[in-house]
Amino acid sequence: MIIGICGNIGAGKSSLTSLLQKELGFTAVYEAVDENPFLEDFYRDMHRWAFHSQLFFLIKRFDFLKKVKDEGTVILQDRTIYEDVEIFARNLHMMKYIDERDWKLYHDTFTTLSDHLTPPSGLIYIKCSLPTLLKRIQKRGRGYESDIDPRYLERLNNLYEEWFSRFELSPKLVVDGDKLDFVENPEDRKIVLEQVSGFVKNIATGVQSKLFNGGKT
């Protein structure tokens, strides 16, 4: 099964993915941030590079979903293809960094690709307020993120809340990133591991039951 790890920039997606891989033995697939040749240019000039950067992420994530074999294992996907479309590209279009013509091409591309996609077995959303996001971004020290406008992060947060509340293709789990510091605090880490472990077991039980019943009929 594929479990999507969702959340805003700085929420701790990669950290949670790494933790679950280490402690629960899941297979991790990380966002191709360092592979994106447009990303640093994007942060310097969003008008010029927004469409290119978002299209790169969209194609990379579709390529992963097309090739992945998830039978008998739990695969963690650091950010989902739905977030690319519903959060990041949509926000850039709303801010007019992606114009109407490019947005239509981008969205038509996703619509075409989505006909060949199976939704993830579950979504885990790390929900963080703006102060938490800013603190974590500063702490991890990625140079190209240092000048991110807090208003940009706040808009992304609003889009995350709206999208996640209406997403119905998969079971969902919310991890409170403000209250649970699963990176620094061992007790918080234990709580999150228990939450995720129970979530995945419930999904697996449901899948097994469905397959068993289908076999009987």
Q: Is 170 annotated as a binding residue?
A: no
Distance separating alpha carbons of residues 184 and 87, to the nearest angstrom:
28
Q: Is 202 annotated as a binding residue?
A: no
For residue 46, the Cα-to-chain-centroid distance in whole angstroms is 21
Q: Is 22 annotated as a binding residue?
A: no
> Is 78 among the catalytic positions?
yes
Interacting residues of 35 by C-beta distance below 8 A, sequence separation 6+:
60
Distance separating alpha carbons of residues 126 and 161, to the nearest angstrom:
11
Q: Is 28 annotated as a binding residue?
A: no
Q: Is 97 annotated as a binding residue?
A: no
Q: Is 10 annotated as a binding residue?
A: yes
Q: Is 8 annotated as a binding residue?
A: yes
From 41, 78, 102, 149, the catalytic residue? 78
Q: Is 43 annotated as a binding residue?
A: yes
Question: Phi and psi at residue 178, in whole multiples of 5°?
Answer: -75, -40
Rounded alpha-carbon distances, angstroms, from residue 173 to 15, 155, 187, 199: 17, 22, 19, 7
Which residues belong to the annotated binding site? 7-15, 31, 43, 54, 79, 84, 136-140, 145, 180-182
Catalytic residues: 78
Residues tagged in the binding site annotation for substrate: 31, 43, 54, 79, 84, 145
Give the residue ranges of the annotated binding site for ATP: 7-15, 136-140, 180-182
